[in-house]
């Protein structure tokens, strides 16, 4: 597991993801010419209340590569 530290809405938070998901997140950010923080912030703001952010990121990555 790897921890990613980001600032969301002015608050520091850490997200734990497997290295493969971290690598995939970097790849997607590069392809979209976006920062990882902006992607995570978007996912954080659109996830259902009570949904785990790490899980939301994993599902989003899976859906991205299934397209």
pLDDT one-digit tens code per residue, 12-63 = 999 999 999 999 999 999 999 999 999 999 999 999 888 899 999 999 999 9
pTM of the model: 0.89
51: CB partners within 8 A, 6+ apart: none
Domain 2-66: state its class.
Answer: mainly alpha
Q: How many CB atoms lie within 10 A of CB 21?
A: 20
**Domain limits, the chain:** 2-66
């Amino acid at each position: 597991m790897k921890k990613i530290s980001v600032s969301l809405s002015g608050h520091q938070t850490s997200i734990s993801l497997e290295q493969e998901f971290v690598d995939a997140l970097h790849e997607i950010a590069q392809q979209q010419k976006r920062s990882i923080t902006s992607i995570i912030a978007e996912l954080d703001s659109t996830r259902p209340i009570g949904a785990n952010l790490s899980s939301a990121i994993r599902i989003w990555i899976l859906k991205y590569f299934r397209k």
